[in-house]
Amino acid sequence: MSIQLLEGKRGVIFGALNEASIAWKVAEKAVAAGAKITLSNTPMALRMGELDALGTKLNAKIIAADATNTEDLLNVFKESMEVLGGKVDFVLHSIGMSPNVRKKHTYDDLDYDMLRQTLDISAISFHKMIQQARKLDAISEGGSIVALSYVASQRTFFGYNDMADAKALLESIARSFGYIYGREKSVRVNTISQSPTMTTAGAGIKGMNDLLDFSDKMSPLGNATADECADYCIVMFSDLTKKVTMQNLFHDGGFSSMGMSLRAMNQYSKSLDEFKDEQGRIIYG
Ligand SMILES: NC(=O)c1ccc[n+]([C@@H]2O[C@H](COP(=O)([O-])OP(=O)(O)OC[C@H]3O[C@@H](n4cnc5c(N)ncnc54)[C@H](O)[C@@H]3O)[C@@H](O)[C@H]2O)c1
């Protein structure tokens, strides 16, 4: 029998799209740990139909919302308090999307309307979510709010593109709102910086398979899976982490503290030739 870390708690989980989604695993584990939850995603994601099965399995109401729309978000918290029977104890923001990545605009050729959308969907939505919840006083004293981030917020990773800027903003919002909500209601606001993970969003990253392999070889504990990330989220929602706030918490098997590992070095030495174009010039990609 699992430990009931979230017994009696109420939560809202944004961003479960399909079984591979990190939010999907978090939803399953939250309910297994004793919580009651609601689920939210865009009307388009809901039309894809896979979320229905999760809602039925977990007895969780699904509330449609575009996370860039403040009225939608306000409604998610209103409805969640109604169906869950009180204030919300934890919130997961598991949302990310870059139209520039989708349309293959490189970082030195960004479309700025698309950049605005990337930032709005992947980072400012976190601010909007917290601001709407606070307006309604929807989060209970000592509650916990978590968003998912990636190490490219702090160090440059080829191909992560404008999502790196979005993640830097996301982590900053956690600190800025963590201060305000912490001193007022002891509400914790943190980001969890997860290993690369093969999900729908993850698959969109340029060179994802190589990135997965590289970070696995670099990390003493190997890449963290979506399931393991969900476990960490549950601990962050629980009363065991009441004094953890305004942090970016690495959940990456040790990757973020590594410089070079033997396994990565061995792999590197197999392919020491520089990448060159047709004219023989080195490409510093
Ligand atoms: N997969 C990885 O390698 C990885 C690594 C670190 C962090 N993350 C982060 O984890 C989070 C979850 O991603 P995932 O990997 O589970 O992929 P996913 O594709 O399963 O989830 C992304 C979700 O964002 C939702 N979304 C997109 N636009 C939205 C909008 N306007 N309003 C509301 N929801 C919207 C999608 O519908 C989807 O459910 C993201 O923030 C992602 O950046 C992922």
Task: For residue 175, report the distance from its CA to the centre of ligand 1, in Å.
Answer: 21
pLDDT, greater one: 169 or 210: 169
Quote the pLDDT of residue 280.
80
Per-residue pLDDT tens over the stretch 59-104: 999 999 999 999 999 999 999 999 999 999 999 999 999 999 999 9
Residue 285 binned pLDDT confidence (cut-offs 50, 70, 90): low
Residue 191 binned pLDDT confidence (cut-offs 50, 70, 90): very high
Residue 3 binned pLDDT confidence (cut-offs 50, 70, 90): low
**Ligand 1 atom with minimal separation from the 208 CA:** 3
Task: For residue 21, report the distance from its CA to the centre of ligand 1, in Å.
Answer: 7
Quote the pLDDT of residue 1.
47
Spatial contact of 64 and 37, defined as CB atoms under 8 Å apart: no
Per-residue pLDDT tens over the stretch 145-177: 999 999 999 999 998 999 999 999 999 999 999
User: At residue 261, does pLDDT exceed 50?
Assistant: yes
**Ligand 1 atom with minimal separation from the 23 CA:** 16
Quote the pLDDT of residue 282.
78
Residue 95 structure tokens: 């949302």
CATH of 10-269, one of 3.40.140.10, 3.30.300.30, 3.20.20.70, 3.40.50.720: 3.40.50.720
Residue boundaries of the structural domains of the chain: 10-269
The mean pLDDT value of the chain amounts to 95
**What mean pLDDT do residues 244-255 have?**
98
Long-range contacts at 72-76 (CB < 8 A, ≥ 24 apart): 73/125, 73/128, 73/129, 73/132, 73/133, 74/132, 74/135, 74/136, 76/12, 76/14, 76/38, 76/40
Per-residue pLDDT tens over the stretch 5-54: 999 999 999 999 999 999 999 999 999 999 999 999 999 999 998 999 99
**Which of 6-10, 204-208, 228-232 shows the lowest per-residue confidence on average (mean pLDDT)?**
204-208
Question: What secondary structure letter does DSSP report for 256?
Answer: G
26: burial class by Cβ within 10 Å (0-12, 13-18, 19+)? buried
Quote the pLDDT of residue 217.
94
pLDDT, greater one: 269 or 95: 95
Candidate of 44, 94, 151, 200 to mutate for ligand 1, largest count of ligand atoms within 8 Å of Cβ: 94
